[in-house]
Amino acid sequence: MTMLATYEQAQTILRCPITKQELRLLELQEVESLNDRIANGELRHTDGTPVKVSLEAGFISRDGRFVYPVLDGIILLLENLAIPVTRQKDGAQVALRAEKKVLQDFYDSIGWQKAGQETTSFVDALKWEDLRPVASEYIHDCHLRVNRYIKKQGRYLLDAGSGPIQYPEYLSYSDGYAFRICVDISFLALKEAQKKLGNKGIYILGDITNIPLQDNTVDGAVSLHVIYHVPKDEQLAAFRELHRVLIPGSSAAIVYSWPNSQMLKWLLFPRRIKRNILRWIQKLKSLVKKILRWENRKKTTAPVSVPETPYHYTHEQAYFENNLKGIKFEIVVWRSIGVPFMRMYIHPHLFGAAILRGIYRKEEGNPALYGRIGQYPLFVIQK
C-alpha cells in the first residue's frame, strides 16, 4: 500500500482534536497553495510558533478551519500543532500542557534513544525493565497475556502510547489486524514504530486524553504503561477515550501500576517472623552482590545514566472503581512483581528462573487476585 492510499484510508476514521469534526485529505492544489503561504511566513501553529516546514500532505477539518500536516509519514494531530487557515474569532494560543511537554521532551531526547551502538535496546528498557536472561521467560509470558483480552483479528488495532513497539511480543497484538494505529506524543517513538510496521501502521502524533479518532472505529485497543504518565486529573479521560473509540462488542487492554504492591507488604507474617526473614534477606543480598561482582569483573559496560525521569502518577484501585462509571471493566494480572524486586531477589544462581515460573503459575491460577494485590494490573475495558 502506498502512503497516499494509507492517508486515504486514515481520513475515514480521523477527527479534528479541536472541533471534533471529521478530517479530509487535502488535494494536491490545496497543499501547493498552503506551501506558498508557509514560504511567505503567513501561517502559524495554534501554539503561536511559525510553520517552517512545507507540507508533504495534510488533513483539514470539515469546516475548513484547521489543517494538520503530515511529516515523514506521521500525521501531526496535537492541538498545539494545528494550523489555522482561516481568520479565527478566538485567537488564543493552545500550548501543550507542561507535564505532557516534559514527557514528550524526555522520550524524544532520552527514553527512545538507543542505549548504545552494540544494542537494539532503548534507554527506557534498560532503565525500567529487567532484560536479564534469568527473567526473559517470565517477561515474555507476561507480555503475551495481552493477547487474551483483545480480539484476535479485525481492521484496526489502536496502540495508545505505542512508543517504538519496543518488544517483539508487542508486535503479536496486531498480527490479525489490517492496520495498527500508533498514537504517541513522541515523534521519535513513531519513527521507530515505522521501522517495524511499515505500511501496516497509521502513525499519529497525538494525545491519548483526546484521541483524534471518530467514535466506534477500532476493533481492539492496547495501552501499555502509558496512562500513569498522563497528568493525574486526566487519567480518567484517557480511559474514557479508549472506550469511546471501541466498536461495540470489542475490548481494550490497559497495563497500569498500583502505588503500592500489597503482595509485597507481607501483611500475613507476624512481626517476629518477618524480622527474621528480613535478616536472612540481608545476608542473601550480601551474597548476591559478591556473586555479581565476580560475574561482572571483566565487564566494562558503564551503567545507563538517565538524568531525568518522565511525569508519573498512580492512583489507588478505589479511585477507578469510584470514578469509571458507565464503563464496564475488570482487573486481572499483567505482572505481579516489579523490576526493583526482580533485580534484587531474582538471580540465576539462586533458582531465579524457577521462582519466576512459580510466581507465573500462581498468577495464572488467580489472575483477578494478583491483578489487585500485585504491582501491574491489566484493566480490560469492554464495550
Domain range summary for the chain, segments of one domain joined by +: 3-84, 103-260+306-382
Please report the pLDDT score of residue 345 as a whole number: 85
Grid coordinates standing for 191? 519513527
**80 pLDDT more than 70:** yes
Q: What mean pLDDT comes out for the span 193-218?
A: 96
What is the distance between the alpha carbons of residues 323 and 129, in angstroms, rounded to a whole number? 30
**Region of residue 20 (left: phi > 0; alpha: psi -120 to 50; beta: else):** left
Residues 6+ apart with CB under 8 A from 125: 115, 131, 166, 167
- The DSSP 8-state label assigned to residue 351 in this structure reads T
**84 pLDDT more than 90:** yes
Please report the pLDDT score of residue 128 as a whole number: 87
Judged by average pLDDT, the poorest of 69-73, 120-124, 233-237, 253-257 is 120-124
* Predicted confidence band of residue 26 (pLDDT cuts 50, 70, 90): very high
Please report the pLDDT score of residue 90 as a whole number: 60
Q: Give the Å distances, CA to CA, from 266 to 260, 261, 271, 275.
A: 12, 10, 10, 11
- The DSSP 8-state label assigned to residue 346 in this structure reads -
**pTM listed for this prediction:** 0.86
Could you tell me the fold of the domain covering 103-260+306-382?
A: Rossmann fold (3.40.50)
Judged by average pLDDT, the poorest of 238-252, 301-315, 339-353 is 301-315
- The DSSP 8-state label assigned to residue 164 in this structure reads T
Q: What mean pLDDT comes out for the span 93-108?
A: 90
Question: How do residues 278-328 score in pLDDT, each as one tens digit?
Answer: 566 666 656 656 665 555 554 444 444 444 677 899 999 999 999 998 999
What average pLDDT is seen over the chain? 88
**100 pLDDT more than 50:** yes
Q: What mean pLDDT comes out for the span 247-262?
A: 90
Q: What mean pLDDT comes out for the span 253-275?
A: 65
Please report the pLDDT score of residue 264 as a whole number: 54
Strand partners, 221: 158, 252
Please report the pLDDT score of residue 300 as a whole number: 40
R_g of the chain, CA atoms, integer Å: 23
**201 pLDDT more than 80:** yes
Please report the pLDDT score of residue 303 as a whole number: 44
**76 pLDDT more than 60:** yes
DSSP SS3 for 376 = strand
**Region of residue 67 (left: phi > 0; alpha: psi -120 to 50; beta: else):** beta
Question: How do residues 112-163 score in pLDDT, each as one tens digit?
Answer: 888 776 677 888 888 889 899 999 999 999 999 999 999 999 999 999 999 9
Please report the pLDDT score of residue 284 as a whole number: 62
For 362, list phi and psi in degrees, rounded to 5: -60, -45
DSSP 104-128: HHHIIIIITSBS-TT---BHHHHHH
Please report the pLDDT score of residue 58 as a whole number: 95
**189 pLDDT more than 60:** yes
Please report the pLDDT score of residue 278 as a whole number: 55
How far, rounded to the nearest angstrom, does the alpha carbon of residue 318 sit from its chain's CA centroid? 23
Please report the pLDDT score of residue 310 as a whole number: 79
Q: What is the bridge-based pairing of β-strands 376-382 and 328-335?
A: antiparallel
Percent of the chain predicted with pLDDT > 70: 85
